Structure 1
Amino acid sequence: MEKFDVCIIGAGIGGLMAAHKIKVHDPKTSVVIVEKGQTLERRKCPASAERGCVHCGICAITNGYGGAGARSDGKLNVGTAYGGILGDELGETKAMKYIREVDSTLESFADVVNGVRDYPEMFLSNEDLKLKCLQNNLRLLDMDVRHLGTDRNFNILKNIIKHLADVGVDMRSGTEIENVEYENGKWHVTGKDTDIEASKLIIAVGRVGAGFVSKFCNKFGIKMKTNAVDIGVRVEMKDAIWREFSSRIYEPKILCRTKTFEDKTRMFCFNQGGIVSAENNNGIITANGHSFSDKSKKTDNCNFAILSSINFTEPFNKPTEFVESISRLANSIGNGNVLVQRFGDLVRGRRTNDHRLGHSTVIPTLKATPGDISLVMPHRILTNIIDTIYALDKVAPGTANDDTLLYGCEAKYYSIRPEHKPNFEVMDGAYIIGDCSGITRGLSQAGAMGLFVADDIAGRTEV
């Protein structure tokens, strides 16, 4: 058995920030990070625009050093308007303090090019675009955003991980934890070839680790709250259609109240000049999107998600299973892949086939299966998506073009939310942080949560 002061399960942004800050407080504190995925350099997704997803056992996009954020487009939301509820948990002032610390920490690990840190400028909010949306019954969320890009984000994470190793953090890839026990004030973490004892335990397994968190909470009798779930599509079109927005604020995040049912939908995760990608969530293939800061990797397209939020009430309490069942059906109809359909075909009630897709003016950036999304989506959700596309067309004409492509499904599960103390402890010396906590939904707030917990472990914060 190996003994450490702190054991962190998961090497995403939350776990990395926690380890970094713990070592800043006390370099002598022994820290181990165990991660079931691979190192950054070995996180290779074999999928391509031609092949599509090949169903790896452990998805390299969502697992590994850097977490799901390492393979994201690296959007850092410097605020609390979206991306989680950390502002509600800590208070706005304290939450912003830690979010800004995440921003400054990432900047400190950016590469130096010609004597200057390679760190991008902030995209600020825009009042003219907010007014344009309001005039069309849409709400543009107000947030400052820093776009790192997939490539720059990767380099920053690589530098952080190297630094952690240099200061003595024991980092272990390809290490899946099978059991956690608590005995005599110590946490015992075991798996194949792994037997660790630690005084403090930080679980930071990301959204993909929701099952691990649920199992942990059930084992130790920790109560859990059910979060909302989102289901929808990834939308792809010519980049020029949204350039008025993307050139001024980088990422438009827009809320819509749908015309037919007055349900809440949202447009988010906008990728200018980006690509649509597939990711494996515990055997279910869903759509996502990325963009790059390297101009040579830009495409002629942009993409974003349109998601319909669902809050179930009693007696149903399995929202994740509901979303997974829809995504599995899409995979079944898509022969193990996500579906793609022209918007014009969808509203006319016809299936997209290879012939129609081949004549589309929008060239798909992901090898997906042409099909009919209406065979997958529940009527209410599908109607919400169509209503939202027509609403967005009013502020970005061309969004509702026939050749706009819809990839289904895109799903956001948002982990169940374990009950916790004000310092995020769920048991003595055990913390659940980041997206697996159900509190955060992105890089900045997940990283901020890691920094806060590190301060708490060091006795440097007030809650």
Structure 2
Amino acid sequence: MAQKLRRKETTVYNIEAIASTYFLEKELSKKDIRSEMRTSMTPQQTDVAIVGLGPAGIGVVHRLLEQDTDFDIACFDLGPRPEEKNCAVLNDAGCIRRTGCHILTGFGGSSLLSGGKLSTLPAGDSLIDITEDTNDVERTITEALAFFNDYLAIAEPTISPEEIEAHRLRFEDNGFDLNYYDAHVMIESEEKIRQAYCEMCKDLESARTSFHFNTKVVRIEETEDHFTLYTTNSRGEEEKCVCNNIILGVGLSGDVLLENLQRQFDIQTKPSKLEMGVRLEFPRDVFPEIDQGHKDLKLHRGNCRTFCVCKGGQLAPYFHDSMSLLDGHVDRTNLTDFTNLGLRLRLPSSKDNDRIYSVIRENYLEATSGIPIRESYTSYVGNANKDIMTRDESSINYWKPGDINNLFPEKYAEELRQNVIKFVDEVIPEKRHSEVNVYAPGLYYPGFEFEVNRNFEVSDSMYIIGEGTGQFRGILQAFSSGLLCAESIAEKLQ
């Protein structure tokens, strides 16, 4: 039976120490000291304020620093610097349940502790709908990939058109549509990736930029000619920042802030799509060719789709809205014997999605207080047999047993289950079905799709970029939106 490959004993991160003391005991640079000395009586003045330093925010800073201007930039993020980002679950412990989950927040956002794939168009092609300029999007996606290539070893896809077509036909014969796009893979160790992000952070900090980590933007107010950001740092100290332009690249971790701003500034929105589903985990040798025709196998069948394939990876729950929600992670120099991937139903934009999301959330919190649920595949599909030995091993220790079907409204539970059965029957030999485990929930719901203009502006001098728009996801796509937004701001300020 496959066993999880444990991480090296020389891991340099002390989870408990980080969780309890790093906010108070971190060593401060001179720039940090100057930042910490500011008080609410002396607000910082800046030309551009960026909230969120994931790929979208990084893209803005990178492009603004390239411009031949002298305007100042202040950046705020709920999470830490890259050297301090850590997930207890990925180190075989339980979730610390931070307000700012380190998978979602901090420098690099979810791109640092992720599946390590950089996907190009047509992934995230809603960017083209926003900008109405295919050439601009293609240009900035290419520039985004080049930026990451400057810091990281990234393997280009080497799949031939013939291999793609053979893969497509194989799945089409069984009712699946293959949605192919090039997926570039970060091939360095988790530690080297972290070091690369530290270098990015260092390179972007300059005389014109100030970075404020472990800092929450509590509210934003507008006067006739500027915005005022009210922030709270890790010690509970309140500060202000006055700016002429504000860029919001916060993603899921900033959903409450975005919702408040939507009401406050009467920003035009429509209901967002809702994704609900599960992650399957099984021994890597059960389906070793999963990445041969696509490095991030994307299959569609009706409303269901696969996503985020992590061959040799771990489950990676992130903490959001009082729940641990499932994603995947791979350290390609320290592989496990498992593969995991997501299968989700995607419901179209609807006002009813709020209610459906609330029902799933309530069921989940009642069942396990928001801790991931695991169920054997045979039990999940209703074919459990006590005489069949199911697999006990898991890539993480943070889960509870339970009935996954009870999480979702019956209509969607049945639709999801039938798609899972179809996928497993297609790719996994029946004699090994007992080695498949199902984890839940995979749940993604931004709440809004913001009606941004082609420059990502939602109100005069206020911009929303990246995942926070509710219209697209992806590391390169978020970075691209930051580049395009920064170009429009630079043109305005020059």
Q: Same fold (TM over 0.5)?
A: yes
1:311 aligns with 2:348: yes
Q: Which stretch shows the higher mean deviation, 362-371 or 33-42?
A: 362-371
Deviation per residue, 1:95-121 (Å, 9 max, x gap): 1111111001111233xxxxxxx3322
Q: Which residue number in structure 2 is paired with residue 8 of structure 1? A: 50
Q: Which stretch shows the higher mean deviation, 123-132 or 66-75?
A: 123-132
Q: Which residue number in structure 1 is paired with residue 130 of structure 2? A: 89
1:212 to 237, 257, 260: 257
Q: Distance in 2 between matches of 1:99 and 1:156?
A: 20
1:182 aligns with 2:222: yes
Paired AA for residue 217 in structure 1: Q
Q: Distance in 2 between matches of 1:104 and 1:351?
A: 52
CA contact (8 A) 2:100 2:253 kept: no
TM-score, reference length from structure 2: 0.83
- Closer, same or farther in 2 for the Cα pair 1:254/1:167, shift >3 Å? farther
- Mark the runs of 5 or more structure 1 residues left unpaired by the alignment: 111-117, 258-263
Q: Which residue number in structure 2 is paired with residue 128 of structure 1? A: 166
- Mark the runs of 5 or more structure 2 residues left unpaired by the alignment: 1-42, 233-237
Q: Which residues in structure 2 correspond to 1:36-51 (within 5 Å)?
A: 36-47=78-89, 50-51=92-93
Q: Distance in 2 between matches of 1:282 and 1:129?
A: 38
Q: Which residue number in structure 1 is paired with residue 436 of structure 2? A: 404
How far 1:55 sits from its partner (Å)? 2.2
Partner of 2:414, secondary structure, is: helix
How far 1:237 sits from its partner (Å)? 0.9
Q: Distance in 2 between matches of 1:277 and 1:231?
A: 16
CA contact (8 A) 2:82 2:198 kept: yes
Name the % identity. 21
Q: Distance in 2 between matches of 1:165 and 1:140?
A: 42
1:270 aligns with 2:309: yes
CA contact (8 A) 2:380 2:438 kept: no
Deviation per residue, 1:97-148 (Å, 9 max, x gap): 11111001111233xxxxxxx3322354612101111222211111001111
TM-score, reference length from structure 1: 0.88
How far 1:287 sits from its partner (Å)? 1.6
CA contact (8 A) 2:49 2:243 kept: yes
1:348 to 379, 382, 389: 382
1:119 aligns with 2:154: yes
1:388 aligns with 2:419: yes
CA contact (8 A) 2:381 2:421 kept: no
CA contact (8 A) 2:276 2:346 kept: yes
1:23 aligns with 2:57: no
Q: Which residues in structure 2 correspond to 1:14-413 (within 5 Å)?
A: 14-26=56-68, 28-47=70-89, 50-79=92-121, 81-83=122-124, 85-90=126-131, 91-110=133-152, 118-124=153-159, 126-148=164-186, 151=190, 153-166=193-206, 168-192=208-232, 193-257=238-302, 264-294=303-333, 297-311=334-348, 313=350, 317=351, 319-320=353-354, 322-348=356-382, 359-361=389-391, 363-367=393-397, 368-393=399-424, 395-398=426-429, 401-413=433-445
CA contact (8 A) 1:285 1:327 kept: no
Q: Distance in 2 between matches of 1:439 and 1:167?
A: 34
Q: Distance in 1 between matches of 2:486 and 2:99?
A: 32
Partner of 1:252, secondary structure, is: coil
Q: Distance in 1 between matches of 2:382 and 2:88?
A: 35
How far 1:452 sits from its partner (Å)? 0.3
Root-mean-square deviation over aligned CA pairs: 2.5
Deviation per residue, 1:26-51 (Å, 9 max, x gap): 35221110111111122222335754
Paired AA for residue 232 in structure 1: G
Q: Distance in 2 between matches of 1:119 and 1:219?
A: 42
How far 1:190 sits from its partner (Å)? 1.3
Partner of 2:290, secondary structure, is: helix
Partner of 2:380, secondary structure, is: helix
Deviation per residue, 1:349-377 (Å, 9 max, x gap): 7699xx98xx5336211221011112222
